[in-house]
Amino acid sequence: MNPDVQAAMPELEKWIGTKRVVEDEMGLSSVQRAAATMDVDPASFKNGDPIPRQWFNMFFPDICRDSDLGPDGHPNKGVFLPPIPLPRRMGAGRRVQIMGNLVVGQPATKTAEVAAIIPKSGRSGNICILTMRLTFETAGKVIAIDEFDAIYREAVQPGAKTTATQPKEAPTDSAWQEVVTFTEAKNFRYGAVSWNAHRIHYDADYARDGEGYNHTVQNGGLTMQTVTDIACKHTDRMITGLNARLTKPIWVGDTITVHGRDEDGGILCWIEDQHGHLCAEMNIGFE
């Protein structure tokens, strides 16, 4: 275990179970911006309309003052999230239940709870996994529960590359495929909609020199949102949840292939990059 993390664990454990509530008016202009970002006609929404079930996580941003941002563009540790003493943070996976829809113009809340903080050591070095549980409510009803994992990692030495797991070949036994290019403009607009200023997504010099990546890193939230939206277009059933795992970074500007097939009553999706490597897997439930 990283010695700084080990020393910090008694204080970090006090964060487990803590909650904060974020309110959102679900304003029409916010919904229209989200729709445009996901290539849906923004004029198709008006006050009182249900919002697509799978879009709940594009709202309720954590809004902090500019002076509270850290050098990586995230809010400083301790402002919203536990002060885990490792400098680099990336999303890893999600487990989601969806029970209803948000509604345009109907106020809603997100309750964010620190569910777990787990330090680990492995081939890629010392890491710490933060699990957050997000509960979304509107009109007195819970409409979604989203549990997601963020991995905190040690700094890279100047000039060094970040450690990475050996890439796996993507399966080829899909029933359908769709090709998607994650353009710089789409990545920027998603970051603006979700109020995500993490510099690895738009600052190439910082991504390479500060965190050891090859290029700016595709926003994992946009990756999962895109795959989920595509899966929903391949069925007339209602989405009830998903389980997602990101396995390999995608670079901003990359063209990838989304694969899918029916499995266990839902749709199994995965992403193949231009080199044939597996980048993400998602099991999406429907009823």
Render pLDDT for 52-92 as a digit per residue (tens, 0 to 9): 999 999 999 999 999 999 999 999 989 999 999 998 888 88
Q: How far is CA 203 from CA 73, 224, 249, 255, 278, in A?
A: 10, 21, 16, 19, 25
Q: At residue 272, does pLDDT exceed 90?
A: yes
Decide: 234 and 267 in contact? Cβ < 8 Å.
Answer: yes
Decide: 102 and 55 in contact? Cβ < 8 Å.
Answer: yes
Q: What gap in Å lies between CA 271 and CA 178, rounded to an integer?
A: 10
> pLDDT class for 2, splitting at 50, 70, 90?
confident
**What average pLDDT score do residues 101-124 get?**
93
Q: What DSSP state is assigned to residue 246?
A: E
- pLDDT at position 37 is 97
Q: What percent of the chain has pLDDT over 90?
A: 89
pLDDT tens-digit profile of 183-225?
Answer: 999 999 999 999 999 999 999 999 999 999 999 999 999 999 9
For 4, the 3-state DSSP assignment is: helix
Q: What gap in Å lies between CA 128 and CA 115, rounded to an integer?
A: 13
Q: Write down the architecture of domain 166-287 according to CATH.
A: Roll (3.10)
pTM metric for this prediction: 0.93
- pLDDT at position 90 is 86
Confirm whether 1-155 and 166-287 share one CATH topology. Answer: yes
How high is the mean pLDDT of the chain?
A: 95
Q: What is the CATH number of domain 1-155?
A: 3.10.129.10
Instruction: Report H helices in the chain.
Output: 3-12, 28-37, 184-193, 204-205, 211, 220-233
- pLDDT at position 45 is 98
- pLDDT at position 19 is 97
> pLDDT class for 181, splitting at 50, 70, 90?
very high
Q: In one letter, which amino acid is 70?
A: G
> pLDDT class for 245, splitting at 50, 70, 90?
very high
> pLDDT class for 165, splitting at 50, 70, 90?
confident
Domain assignments of the chain as residue spans, ordered by start: 1-155, 166-287
- pLDDT at position 156 is 84
In the chain, % helix, strand, coil (3-state, to 5) comes to 25, 35, 40
Decide: 91 and 53 in contact? Cβ < 8 Å.
Answer: no
- pLDDT at position 160 is 75
Angle at 163 between CA 274 and CA 188, to 5 degrees: 55
- DSSP annotation string for 190-228: HHHHTT---GGGT-HHIIIIIH--SSPBPPHHHHHHHHH
Q: How far is CA 107 from CA 58, 139, 236, in A?
A: 15, 8, 28
- pLDDT at position 258 is 98
Give the number of C-alpha atoms closer than 13 A to the C-alpha of residue 203, restricted to the C-beta side. 15
